[in-house]
Amino acid sequence: MSYCGRCGRELTDGSHEDCRRALELEPPRYCASCRRRMIVQVHPMGWSARCSVHGNLTAS
Ligand SMILES: [Zn+2]
Ligand SMILES: [Zn+2]
Query: Residue 32 in 3-state DSSP?
Result: coil
CA of 3 to the centre of ligand 1 (A): 8
Ion ligand 2: residues, CB within 5 A, are 31, 33-34, 51, 53-54
Contacts with 54 (C-beta within 8 Å, 6 or more apart), sequence order: 31, 33, 34
pLDDT tens track for 17-49: 999 999 998 999 999 999 999 999 998 988 999
Judged against a pLDDT cut of 80, whether residue 59 lies above it is answered with no
Q: Which of 29, 39, 25, 38 is CA-nearest to residue 8? A: 29
* Domain coordinates in residue numbering, the chain: 17-58
